[in-house]
């Protein structure tokens, strides 16, 4: 089983990034994080072959310069990035957005919780799912 999980969180709100990371560390202190403040920075990180690809990407929808929708679209064009589970992590609750982004390749659409307990719950479900999949491959 893989002990260390890599997560890329792409969000222009520093407080949201910190809250997410602190909540995840409560679940597993071995999680490694990389962050990006917008889709452009995320794509630059992901396309740099010197960087290890993350196990998961949590992607905000509404950001300056390159937003989550465009970032997801660009990731879908890159074979190296195609299989990384992308979670849209946003304040939007628009069902149309959810359907469209799922069709573009996002695995889940999560409305950003403000409560660390909710983030903890979401991440514990996601990470346990990942560990179970890895265990089945061993």
Task: Please name each of the domains of the chain with its CATH number.
Answer: 6-128 (3.40.50.2300)
How far apart are the C-alpha atoms of 29 and 113, rounded to whole Å?
21
Tokens of 78: 């890159």
**Strand runs (DSSP E) across 24-106, as ranges?**
32-36, 56-59, 86-90
pTM greater than the 0.75 cutoff: yes
134 — phi, psi (to 5°)?
A: -65, -40
Cα separation, 82 vs 110, in Å, equals 20
Per-residue pLDDT tens listing for the chain (138 residues)? 346 789 999 999 998 899 888 888 877 788 899 999 999 999 999 999 999 999 999 999 888 888 888 998 999 899 989 889 998 887 777 777 777 878 777 887 777 777 777 777 777 777 666 544 444 443
Give the helix/strand (H/E) hosting 7. strand 6-10
Nearest to 58 by CA among 108, 113, 115, 8: 8
């Amino acid at each position: 089983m893989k002990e260390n999980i890599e997560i890329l969180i792409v969000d222009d709100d520093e407080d949201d990034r910190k809250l997410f990371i602190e909540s995840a560390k409560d679940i597993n202190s071995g999680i490694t994080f990389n962050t990006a403040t917008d889709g452009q920075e995320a794509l630059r990180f992901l396309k740099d072959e010197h960087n290890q690809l993350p196990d998961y990407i949590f992607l905000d929808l509404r950001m300056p310069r390159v937003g989550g929708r465009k970032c997801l679209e660009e990731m879908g064009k890159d074979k190296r990035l195609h299989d990384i589970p992308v979670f849209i992590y946003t304040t939007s609750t628009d069902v149309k957005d959810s359907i469209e982004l799922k069709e573009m390749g996002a695995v889940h659409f999560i409305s950003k919780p403000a409560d660390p307990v909710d983030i903890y719950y979401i991440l514990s479900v996601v990470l346990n799912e990942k560990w179970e999949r890895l265990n089945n491959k061993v």
